Amino acid sequence: MIVSTLALVGCAGNGQGLDNNGRPIGESSGGSGPLTADFTSIQNHVFTPICTVCHAGANAPQGLRLDSTNSYDLLVGVRSNEVSSLLRVKPGDPDHSYLIQKIEGHAAVGARMPFGGPYLDQATIDMIRQWITDGALRSPTATDKVGFTLTAMSPGPGDVLAEAPANLILGFTHELDRTRIDGSTVELVALPVSPGGQARAVDATVAVIDANPSALVVTPLVPLQSGRYALQVRDGAITDLSGAALLSGSSGDSTLMTFQIGTQP
């Protein structure tokens, strides 16, 4: 649905999850109490029951997974694939957030979301707008689970994708030290087709998302071709602002994700 910054046009959504007034069916059951301008409330009342009808799994439109694990890091501060001049969610600026343009029906590309309607009513849209106006903050959570520092990932581990992703996104539970992250510490590689072959580095930019400093985006500089890929990081290279390593292996490089584009040859 909120195919926010993505091309939800390819989604077969038909308003499932909404009543005839454009309100989430069983709204109060998705979260505790009525919908509020809080990310968790919006996730429980809108993204999960409505958007994940299309935006889930390996081939979610434009790689935008709107399940509770991935949605925040794939929305906030991430450039739209359809209109690259806009962020999917621009904190403090709902009018220039592609998500709002899609659900209000005046985006420059594609159909209004949810695709085919019924559409969200104004009261629901106003709550999403207010959340963005207030800074599009992540809801407070309980203390992090020990060792659970990598929380969001797109593509997911082992995904087989029909189309090449425009970017790879990793979300963490702590703000990243961006001074330690570049193309030498985080690397996208094409894996060999045959045993004994060598992995080949893929030219890509690596950056922390300005509006969401706990998320890392890797953008290939050329479209990825069919084949298998891995995202690797030098051991201990990703740290939080205190210098604590968020990922650490025994030695050498750690593989953060592997994914495949197209079918095996």
Question: What are the extents of the domains in the chain?
Answer: 8-133, 150-261
Residue 116 has what pLDDT? 82
204-240 confidence digits (pLDDT tens): 999 999 999 999 999 999 999 999 999 998 878 888 8
pLDDT of residue 6: 33
Between the ranges 12-21, 78-87, 88-97, where is the mean pLDDT highest? 88-97
% of the chain residues with pLDDT over 90: 55
Query: Cα(233)–Cα(220) distance, rounded to whole angstroms?
Result: 16
Q: Does residue 189 carry a pLDDT above 50?
A: yes
**What span, in angstroms and rounded, lies between the C-alpha atoms of 72 and 62?**
15
Residues forming a β-bridge with 245 = 239
Q: Quickly state the pLDDT bin for 248 (edges 50, 70, 90).
A: low
Mean pLDDT across the chain: 83
Which DSSP state fits 47?
Answer: I
Residue 15: pLDDT over 60: no
**Fold of domain 150-261:** Immunoglobulin-like (2.60.40)
